[in-house]
Each structure stands twice: as structure tokens, then as C-alpha cells.
Structure 1
Amino acid sequence: MANSILGTWAVTQQTIVGTSESTFVFTEADGEIKLEILGSKMVLTPVAVTQSGDVVTMTLDITKPLPTRVTIVVDVTPTHFEGKITARFLPSGKLTGDRIQTENAPENAPAAPVAEAAPAAPEPAFP
């Protein structure tokens, strides 16, 4: 089974215009992956997001600082993704993301209680 991109990610983007950090929130609606980008210094509009196995492809329109369309391809693990950003005429950049754990995430559910082991029987005493 593929690692899902759905969830909230702390993202670092390294390009020729510098390093920026933002939060990517991936959700699913009507069978499509939706992307909301929070806290970015750039003006980004998600166009499309697709996932095939552990590979996620995102197409974004950037209107500031330089109007262009970029393609991002990342490999996803359960807690991390890493990949490249490419634009038509610019050198590629690097994009990394670390999953942000939320209170309602299944992995944050309290562990089931474990019963304490019964005390060990005393060793028999032999004369």
C-alpha cells in the first residue's frame, strides 16, 4: 500500500530565490487530492495534485515574486517527503516536508492499557 500524502506537512523549499518555509495541508474531496498552502512568502495557487504509489506530483501557479507555473515531484514516506521543483526556464530546486502530527491523528491515539504481569511464584526451597 502506498504512503498517503494526506495530512499536514511542514515544508521547506530551496530555490534560486532562497529558502522558504510553509505548511502544506493535503485533503481529499470527491476523489481528488486538494492542497492548501499556508504561510508562504510567495503567492501560490495549486492547480493539480496526483499520487501514484509513493510519488506525488503537484502543479502550482506562482504569481509572486516571479509569475510562472512549477511542477513538484516528491517521494513520500509515512513521515517525510523529498523531491524537486522545476519551472520552465529556471534551475530546479529542492522541496522537503515533515509530517506534522495532529491530536486526531491515529498515531496519537492513547495506547491500550496493558495489564501488569502477575508476580513470579517464589522458587521452591530445597534442603
Structure 2
Amino acid sequence: MKRSKGLLLGCMLMGFSAGALADLAALNDAAKKLCNKSKVCLQQEMAAEDDLPPGMAAMLDNMMGELCKQYMSIATVGENHEIIGPATACLNSMADKSCDELLNGEETTAACQRYERVAENYRQY
């Protein structure tokens, strides 16, 4: 199973934060939505694998739990308010993908491409 660019992009969203509570709530909802979708997709993928080695399911479940913790850590309050809308849209667009697209897709969504352009202004070198 190869790692999805979409799932990994979600990890990039962790370095940015929100100030307005409404935006923060929407961002947290989007993170939860993507986390839940990712869990469902991974469970479907594992159920389809006949030759999954013992312990692999537990390891993948643990890995998904850690990824979801990262998604949920978005709620750190900070100064980069203009990044919240694009980050929320990106997470929602990823959660709206099919499981196959989410787990195996290489192409990012238009919303994530927009987020990446805005986020570039906040990256520290």
C-alpha cells in the first residue's frame, strides 16, 4: 500500500493556526471529517487484504490514530488567520474524495493547491 499524497498533505496543515472561533470550529470539523473518512478507507483497505500479516492491522490502526491526532492539533491559536479558510477547504476537499482517490491518488485538489499557494507565505525558511 503506497502512501497518499493527499493524506500526507493533511499533515502539512498542522503548522498553521486560527484566531476566530467560528473559523476554528469549521477547521476542527474539517479535520474530524477527514480523520473519520481516512479511518473508514483504511479499514476497507485492510478488510480487502487477504494476506495481511499478523499485527499489521494494529500497526496501521495505530498509525491512523497518530495521523488523526495531528489533524486535530490544528486548533492551536495563532496569528495566521487568512490561512484558515484555505486549510479548511483543503481538508474538506480531501474528505470528499473517494477512498481510492484518497489512499492511492497522487493529484491534489484545487482547494489544496490554493492552500499550498497561500501557505507558502507562512513557511519558515
Settle same-fold status: TM greater than 0.5: no
The TM tier, using the shorter chain, reads: under 0.3
Specify which structure has the bigger relative contact order, considering alpha-carbon pairs within 8 angstroms and separated by 6 or more residues. Answer: 2
Going by fraction, where is helix more abundant, 1 or 2? 2
Structure whose alpha-carbon radius of gyration is higher: 1
TM-score (norm 2): 0.24
TM-score (norm 1): 0.24
